[in-house]
A and B are shown apart, each in its own frame.
Chain A
Amino acid sequence: MSNETENSSSEFERERVPENALKGPAAFWGMYAGEHTAGTEFMIGPQFVAWGATANSLIFGLLLGNLLAVLTWRFLTATIATQQRLTLYYKMEKVAGKHLVKIYNLANGILFCFLAGSMITVSATAVGPFFPAMKMPTFDSTMPTGLGWIFACICIGMAMTIVAMKGYSVVAKVGNYAAPWMLLIFVACAFVTLGRLETFDLWELLTPPAGTTEKISFWGIVFFSWFCNAAMHLGMADLSVLRFAKSPNAGFASAAGMFLGHYIAWICAALLLVYWVRNHGVDPSRGKDPGTMVNDAVGWAGLICIIIAGWTTANPTIYRAGLAFQGIMPTMPRNVSTLIAGIVCTAAGIFPAFAMNLLSFVGIYGTILAPIGAIIIVDHFLAKAVGIPTDPAEKTGTTFNFVVLLAWLIPVGIAIYLYRYQDVFASYLPLPTAIACGLLYILLSKTIGPKLKLS
């Protein structure tokens, strides 16, 4: 489905999707299930354990957060997508102007690279069990752990980049085929772990030992699971996918990704670290690399799962980063832009800092990109009611709508300050930043925004 999506998104890029190109709900259920069972899930579950999350937070917080994410996809993203049937980029061009879209593309491309880099990091840990001398990174690793690690990341990153340059249809197909099997491998890891720990009491297992500092609360888990894909739902990146949906109810298909990948898979992965903490005395704050834990639990099948899960999600991400860079310089061949993206991704993957801080990184990712979605929400639902023009850049002929730039950058700047200097958890920031951006957009549009010439 990733391939299908990519092929589809290369069509009707500057027009409404016609009725005969619309797809039924089945395609979206498969796509969301596949896209959200990634290699990074092996990293996120254990990081909850490292942050001292309670059983209540994990079981009910994830449930609530994922439900809110599904509702955001359904009632905001899918509603706008099926009414407008435009890509995010084309819609942005109408609102923000084509030159401002380039700045968004740059931000998007760089963040995509870091995300794909963390997937390369996770995939590289699958190499570890074959080379016991190679030192694997832990949660507190920020720098490469040695030459062997750098070599493994370069090999994996370059292989992914070459496939992305050639077009990733084969890998996307493998991703589709792998999705149900990968989920079962996560569950298999959990079963083996429960057998080793000789208890089925999930609540007791997920309860951190007395004296553990709770670095992530119930609401922290709710907001993390709600906004870890903020760029896709609130940020409207999935307009490009859901514009092909016959009905906005296709937004409910995101439940497949949220409740399989971001609920079952995260909890299964968390159990792996619980076992290593209890039976091997691993320090939960330092964690253990996914490759070692999965190989120990389910063997080679688990290592294959890590590589495929990392590969099938990193590949489209590198490809999309390449497209984003190409959007900045349209004359650059796609192969060159994908190669540049792949080199940046590989460089990011060598440094475990991104993968080992995923809980914070995805919050920042959403904080930077989600506000753009707020502007589109205002344009779609509120513009007429508050007396500002819809699609102002298109109607006034401006190629750089400064109102959008200010409304985007001011709240994002404040949010980054709060994260960096006030220690605010990154996942708390996308929602208030997006709301502030929407309100500022209305205010600035009414005061200094481009004015329509009335006939």
Chain B
Amino acid sequence: MIKSIARPVGYLSLLATIVPPMLYMFGVISLEPVKTILLVACVAWFAAAPFWMKAD
């Protein structure tokens, strides 16, 4: 059950770590929201990864 939630959260947080900087690179968004999203993604990754990676 936890794994089934943790896995998509993990994937999403990794996507949220790489996509916003990419959008900034192409001039789509500004830097401040990028930094905020990266921090949220960091928290989400470390919350999800132990359940997901442990289960694997």
User: Which of A's residues lie within 8 Å of B, judged by CB?
Assistant: 173-174, 176-178, 180-181, 184-185, 187-189, 191-192, 194-195, 200, 298-302, 304-305
Contacts and interface: CB of A to CB of B under 8 A. Distances in A.
Contacts of B14: 180-181, 184
A298 B35 contact: yes
B35 A299 contact: yes
Contacts of A300: 35, 38-39, 42
A22 to B, nearest CB: 20
Given A173-B50, A176-B53, A195-B26, A298 B45 contact: no
Contacts of A194: 25
Contact of B38 (A174, A180, A301): A301
Contacts, number: 71
Contacts of A187: 18, 21
B22 interface: yes
Interface in B1-55: 13-14, 17-18, 20-22, 24-27, 31, 34-36, 38-39, 41-42, 45-46, 49-50, 53
A184 B35 CA distance: 14
A148 B31 CA distance: 30
A298 B18 contact: no
Nearest to A305: B42
Q: Is the interface of A mostly helix, strand, loop or mixed?
A: helix
A186 B41 CA distance: 15
Q: How large is the interface on B (under 10, 10 to 19, 20 to 34, 35 or more residues)?
A: 20 to 34
Q: Is the interface of B mostly helix, strand, loop or mixed?
A: helix
A348 B25 CA distance: 38
Residue among A173, A176, A180, A192 with max Cβ neighbours from chain B (10 Å):
A192
Given A177-B49, A195-B26, A301 B18 contact: no
Contacts of B22: 191
B24 A192 contact: yes
A176 B31 CA distance: 29
Given A177-B49, A192-B34, A299-B39, 18 more contacts: A176-B53, A177-B45, A180-B14, A181-B17, A181-B45, A184-B17, A187-B18, A188-B38, A191-B22, A191-B24, A191-B25, A192-B21, A195-B24, A195-B25, A299-B34, A300-B39, A301-B41, A305-B42
13 contacts: A177-B53, A180-B14, A181-B42, A185-B38, A188-B21, A189-B21, A191-B21, A298-B21, A299-B39, A300-B42, A301-B17, A301-B39, A301-B41
Nearest to A194: B25
Residue among B17, B39, B49 with max Cβ neighbours from chain A (10 Å):
B17
B3 to A, nearest CB: 14
A176 to B, nearest CB: 7
Contacts of A174: 46
Given A184-B17, A187-B18, A298 B25 contact: no
Contacts of B38: 185, 188, 298-302
Contacts of B18: 184, 187-188, 191
